[in-house]
Structure 1
Amino acid sequence: MNDLQGLGSVTSNIVSWSPKRHNMRKRNSLRKRKEAPGPAVKPLVFRVDESTPTVVQSVLLERGWDKFDRQRQGVEDWNLYWRTSPFQMADHVNLKPWQRLNHHPGTTTLTRKDCLAKHLANMRKLYGKTLYQFTPLTFIMPDDYTKFVHKYFKEKRHLGTKPSYWICKPAELSRGRGIIIFSDIQDLVFNGTHVVQKYICNPLLVGRYKCDLRIYVCVTGFRPLTIYMYREGLVRFATEKFDLGNLQDCYSHLTNSSINKSGASYWKTKDVVGQGCKWTLSRFFSYLRKWDVDDLLLRQKINHMVILTVLAGAPSVPIAYNCFELFGFDILIDENLKPWLLEVNYSPALTVDCSIDVSVKRSLVHDIIELICLNGLRREERKGTRASLVRSRMPYARSNQRKHHTAPGPLSCVSVIQFTNRMCTKNNPAIQRAIDIRPKPTRTSQMREMMNRREGAKSNSRPRAQHMPHKVLSPYTPLTQSQFCKMKGTLGVFPEPNGHAGNFDLIFPFNEATFGASRNGLNVRRIIQELQKLMNKQLSSDKS
Structure 2
Amino acid sequence: MEGYMESPPPLVLRLGERVPSLVSDVFEGKGYVEYDEDSPPEGQMWHVFWKAGRFKPSEYSEANAVQRVNHFPKTTGITKKDCLLRNLRRMRAIHGNVFNFFPESYILPTEYPTLVRKCESMSTDEKPIWILKPTDSSQGRKIFIIRDLSEISYGHFAASMTADLCDDRPPPDPLRDPKVDDKGRAIATDLDMSTTLKMLKARLHKTVTPCVKFTEMHIVQRYIDRPLCFHGYKLDLRIYVLLLSAQPLRLYCYRDCLVRFATQKYDMSDLDNSYAHLTNTSINKNSASYSTVKEGIKAGCKWSLHQFLREHPDHALSSPLLWERIKAIISLTMLSIAASVPDNGGCFELLGYDVMIDDSLRPWLLEVNCSPALGVECTADREVKEPLIADLCDILAFQRGGGGAASLPAGGGARAAKARGWPGASSSSDEGSTRTTKRAGSEEAFARVLFARREAMAAAERVAHVPSTVGGYELIFPFNAITKRLAESISGNEPAAVAEIRAELQRTATAHGGAPEAAESASGGSGEAARAARGATTSRGGGGSGRSSDGAVMSSSFRAGVNACVHRGSARTADAAGLPTLASSVQRSRQRSRSREQQNSGGRAV
Q: Structure 1's 288 and 124: CA in aligned 2 closer, same or farther, altered over 3 A?
A: farther
CA distance in 1, matches of 2:405, 2:128: 60
Structure 1: how far apart are the matches of 2:13 and 2:323?
Answer: 34
1:45 equivalenced with 2:3 (yes/no): no
Deviations 1:511-544 (A, max 9, x none): 2221222213421101011112211111222236
Deviation at 1:293, TM superposition (A): 6.4
- Whether 2:83 is the aligned partner of 1:115: answer yes
What's 2:508 paired with? 538
How far off is 1:346 after superposition? 1.0
Which residue number corresponds to residue 180 of structure 1? 144
Matched, 1:94 2:62: yes
Cα offset for 1:292? 6.6
Q: Could you tell me how far apart the structure 2 residues matched to 1:457 and 1:528 are?
A: 41
Q: Helix, strand or coil for the counterpart of 2:404?
A: helix
Q: 2:336 aligns with which of 288, 312, 328?
A: 312
- Matches of 2:346 and 2:464, distance apart in 1: 20
Is the CA contact (8 Å cut-off) linking 2:65 and 2:345 kept in structure 1? no
- Kindly provide the amino acid, as one letter, of the partner of residue 367 in structure 2: E
1:247-286 equivalent positions in 2, closer than 5 A: 247-286=271-310
User: Could you tell me which amino acid in structure 2 is paired with residue 149 of structure 1?
Assistant: V
Displacement of 1:158 in angstroms is 4.7
Any residues of structure 2 matched to 1:401-480 within 5 Å, and which? Answer: 446=402, 450-454=404-408, 467-471=417-421
Residue deviations 1:38-79, cap 9 Å, x none? Answer: 313321111112222210001111122111125353465111
| DSSP-derived class of the 2:234 partner | strand
| Alpha carbons 1:260, 1:277 under 8 Å: kept | yes
SS of alignment partner, residue 308 of structure 1? helix
Query: How many residues of Structure 1 are paired with residues of Structure 2 in the alignment?
Result: 414
The separation in 2 between residues aligned to 1:497 and 1:101, in whole angstroms, is 18
- Among residues 220, 226, 229, which one is paired with 1:202 in the alignment? 226
Determine the C-alpha separation between the residues in 2 that align with 1:542 and 1:202: 25
User: Are 2:493 and 1:526 aligned?
Assistant: no
Alignment pair present for 1:151 and 2:151: no
Residue 210 of structure 1 contacts residue 237 of structure 1 at CA under 8 Å; is this kept in 2?
A: yes
Percent identity of paired positions between Structure 1 and Structure 2: 34
Question: In the superposition, relative to structure 1, how do residues 293 and 280 fare at CA in structure 2: closer, same or farther (>3 Å)?
Answer: closer
User: Does the 8 Å contact 1:53/1:83 carry over to 2?
Assistant: no
CA distance in 2, matches of 1:204, 1:54: 34
The structure-2 alpha-carbon separation of the partners of 1:313 and 1:451, relative to structure 1 and needing over 3 Å to count, comes to closer
Q: Which ranges in structure 2 are unaligned for 5 or more consecutive residues?
A: 153-209, 423-459, 515-606
* Larger CA Rg, structure 1 vs 2: 1
CA–CA distance in 2 between the matches of 1:344 and 1:241? Answer: 26
Establish whether residue 55 from structure 1 lines up as the match of residue 22 from structure 2. yes
Measure the CA separation in 2 of the matches of 1:311 and 1:164.
30
The residue number in structure 2 matching 1:395 is none
Alignment of 1:383-394 (within 5 A): none
Q: Write out per-residue CA displacement over residues 457-497 of structure 1, whole angstroms, 9 at most, x where no aligned residue.
A: 99xxxxx977322359xxxxxxxxxxxxxxxxxx9999799
Letter of the structure 1 residue corresponding to residue 354 of structure 2:
D
Contact 2:45 2:410 in 1 (8 A): no
Question: 5 Å matches for 1:311-330?
Answer: 311-330=335-354
Give 2:494's aligned amino acid.
V
The equivalent position to 1:502 in structure 2, one of 471, 491, 503, is 471
Kept in 2: contact 1:223–1:520 (CA 8 A): yes
* CA RMSD across the alignment: 2.7
Distance 1:100 1:469 in 2: 18
Partners of 1:525 and 1:148 lie apart in 2 by 30
Q: Secondary structure at the match of 2:276?
A: helix
TM-score by length of 2: 0.64
Distance 1:457 1:367, change over 3 A: closer
Alignment match, 2:103: 136
Within 2, Cα distance between the matches of 1:152 and 1:177?
A: 26
* Contact 2:236 2:355 (8 Å CA) reproduced: yes
Q: 1:214 aligns with which of 210, 214, 238?
A: 238
SS at match of 2:124: helix
Task: Give the equivalent residue in structure 2 for 1:381.
Answer: none
User: In 2 relative to 1, CA 311–97 (structure 1 residues): closer, same or farther, beyond 3 Å?
Assistant: closer
Report the Cα distance in structure 2 between the residues aligned to 1:39 and 1:494, rounded to whole angstroms: 29
Please tell me the residue identity of whatever aligns with 1:533. A
Q: 1:222, 1:44 → 2: CA distance?
A: 24
Letter in 2 for 1:94: E
